[in-house]
């Protein structure tokens, strides 16, 4: 009954409540390199809620060499998670790696799991880009999808050829920034690229890309994220708050 007099805990330095929806994460148990068990999933979601996120569109990898996920495997893991969660909106989509299997899925007109509407989250290797990157993006578009490039700032080989980012944007590709990039978590090149893309008004979405507790701990103390994030929020370009899970 005296709870209102309880000493307030110090305010968390990080508050993502204005972003509202985390649309890139690996929170489903046991199907990729993210949460391993249902307990991991619940702990990570709880941690993200403490940072202010209210809903989640989680995006397990579909990467045929490593994680042979399909709508069925994703749905099974999603059902397990939902059975343990009462009131947290969590929807499941996928982060598609632009490999040969992805090309086949498109050729066979298989339906893709989307972030919202026809928006599909895609990624490729951090070592080198696909030779036909623009063709792959175009192939997705002619099937009626809008590509969202996951963490464009993490493709450090593009730091010396930034023209490619303008070309992808001109094609209609959306960009999703990893929040941790702004703290230097992935190195200075990615941090600089992230700030440059914000300045260029290229970023449409942000996500945590959360895989494990270490990411959560890093987010919790990365106060450097907040200033550029507010620039993004103030720009009105960020689509996260309008997403629904």
Dihedral angle over CA of 193, 185, 68, 20, nearest 10: -80
Stretch that binds Fe ion, among 4-12, 62-70, 111-119, 201-209 (CB under 5 A): 201-209
Closer residue to Fe ion, CB minimum distance, 22 or 95: 95
Stretch that binds Fe ion, among 77-85, 93-101, 188-196, 217-225 (CB under 5 A): 93-101
Closer residue to Fe ion, CB minimum distance, 4 or 127: 127
Report in angstroms how near the CB of residue 66 gets to Fe ion at its nearest: 12
In the list 209, 215, 229, 232, the residue contacting Fe ion (rule: CB under 5 A) is 209
Report in angstroms how near the CB of residue 9 gets to Fe ion at its nearest: 31
Residue 207 sits at φ, ψ, to 5 deg, of -150, 165
* Binding residues for Fe ion restricted to 122-181, rule: CB under 5 A: none
Report in angstroms how near the CB of residue 34 gets to Fe ion at its nearest: 8
Closer residue to Fe ion, CB minimum distance, 95 or 99: 95
Interior angle at CA 57, CA 55 and CA 58, nearest 5: 120
Stretch that binds Fe ion, among 65-73, 139-147, 207-215, 222-230 (CB under 5 A): 207-215
Report in angstroms how near the CB of residue 207 gets to Fe ion at its nearest: 8
Residue whose Cβ sits closest to Fe ion: 209
Residue 22 within binding range of Fe ion, rule CB under 5 A: no
Report in angstroms how near the CB of residue 76 gets to Fe ion at its nearest: 20
Report how far residue 156's alpha carbon sits from residue 159's, in angstroms, rounded to the nearest whole number. 5
Number of chain positions touching Fe ion (CB under 5 A): 2
Report in angstroms how near the CB of residue 11 gets to Fe ion at its nearest: 29
In the list 22, 32, 95, 153, the residue contacting Fe ion (rule: CB under 5 A) is 95
Stretch that binds Fe ion, among 48-56, 73-81, 126-134, 202-210 (CB under 5 A): 202-210
Report in angstroms how near the CB of residue 209 gets to Fe ion at its nearest: 4
Concatenate the DSSP letters of all residues of the chain into one string.
--GGGSPPPPPPS---TTT-EE--B--STTSSSS--SHHHHHHHHHHHHHTT--EEEE--EEBTTTB---HHHHHHHHHHHHHH-SS--EEE--EEE-SHHHHHHHHTTPPPP-SBTTEEEEE--SSS--TTHHHHHHHHHHTT-EEEEE-GGG-GGGTT-THHHHHHHHHT-EEEEEGGGGGTTT-HHHHHHHHHHHHTT-EEEEE--B-SHHHHHHHHT-GGGHHHHHHHHHHT---GGG---
Interface contacts to Fe ion, rule CB under 5 A = 95, 209
């Amino acid at each position: 009954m005296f709870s209102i007099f309880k000493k307030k805990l110090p305010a968390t330095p990080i508050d993502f409540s204005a972003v509202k929806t985390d649309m890139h994460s690996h929170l489903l148990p046991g199907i990729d390199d993210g949460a391993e068990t249902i307990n991991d999933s619940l702990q990570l979601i709880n941690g993200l809620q403490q940072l202010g996120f209210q809903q989640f569109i989680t995006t397990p990898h579909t990467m045929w060499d490593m994680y042979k996920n399909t709508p069925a495997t994703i749905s099974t893991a999603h059902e397990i998670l939902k059975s343990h969660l009462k009131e947290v909106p969590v929807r499941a989509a996928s982060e598609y790696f632009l490999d040969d299997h992805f090309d086949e899925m498109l050729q066979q007109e298989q339906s893709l799991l989307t972030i919202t509407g026809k928006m599909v989250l895609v990624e490729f290797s951090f070592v080198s880009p696909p030779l036909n990157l623009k063709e792959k993006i175009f192939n997705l578009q002619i099937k009626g999808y809008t590509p969202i490039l996951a963490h464009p700032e993490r493709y450090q080989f593009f730091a010396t050829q930034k023209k490619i980012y303008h070309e992808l944007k001109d094609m209609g590709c959306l960009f999703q920034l990893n929040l941790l990039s702004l703290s230097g978590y992935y190195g200075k090149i990615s941090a600089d690229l992230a700030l440059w893309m914000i300045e260029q008004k290229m970023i449409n979405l942000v996500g945590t890309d959360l895989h494990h507790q270490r990411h959560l701990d890093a987010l919790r103390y990365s106060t450097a994220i907040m200033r550029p994030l507010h620039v993004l929020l103030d720009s009105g370009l960020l689509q996260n708050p309008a997403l629904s899970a």
